[in-house]
Structure 1
Amino acid sequence: MCLAVPGKIIEIQDLLATVDISGVTRKISLMLLPETKIGQFVLVHAGFAIQAIDEEEANKTLELFKELEQYTDDDK
């Protein structure tokens, strides 16, 4: 199973971007989405932006991840 996480582009330099994923920043490649702009949300998988998404969809997905985190915290 593959999992992609939504992140917001906060900086771009050539084909490398810095994304914010729930307060954590990561460097990712924009090779697959070279037209991406600062402020856009993308799905990140294996260090690559693989699809642009809107902010609403990104927030829904991040909320679902938070819900899943509650279940794993309860199991400890």
Structure 2
Amino acid sequence: MCLAVPGQIVSILDHDDPLLRAGKVSFGGVLKDVSLAYVPHAEVGDYVIVHVGFALNVIDVEEAERTLQLLDNISPPV
């Protein structure tokens, strides 16, 4: 089973080669470098679904928040 997690784009590094387009994505405050090659229309502030370092799709805020809440509900308490 694969899990793709929503995160919010906080910065974008555009490149002459669209396959090298990348950005920093926040996952609950944890920043990760993510390839944005598959979502050329994505902008700072957008939520994207990320799997193994690749943003696969842009999703709306409501869907992202709903998914994050569901993930939070299944996480064991610390």
Fold shared, TM-score > 0.5 on shorter chain = yes
Whether 1:4 and 2:4 are equivalent positions in the alignment is: yes
- Matched residue pairs, number? 72
What amino acid is the match of 1:10? V
What residue number does 1:64 align with? Answer: 70
Q: Aligned residues: percent identity?
A: 43
What residue number does 1:73 align with? Answer: 77
Pick the structure with more helix per residue. Answer: 1
Q: How far 1:73 moved relative to its partner?
A: 3.3
Q: Return the TM-score normalized by structure 2.
A: 0.86
Q: How far 1:8 moved relative to its partner?
A: 0.5
What aligned pairs does 1:23-38 form with structure 2 within 5 A after superposition?
A: 23-38=29-44
| Structure 1 unmatched ranges of 5 or more | none
Q: Which runs of 4+ in 1 moved over 4 A?
A: none
Whole-angstrom CA distance in 1 between matches of 2:22 and 2:50: 13
Secondary structure (helix, strand or coil) at the match of 1:73 reads coil
| Structure 2 unmatched ranges of 5 or more | 15-20
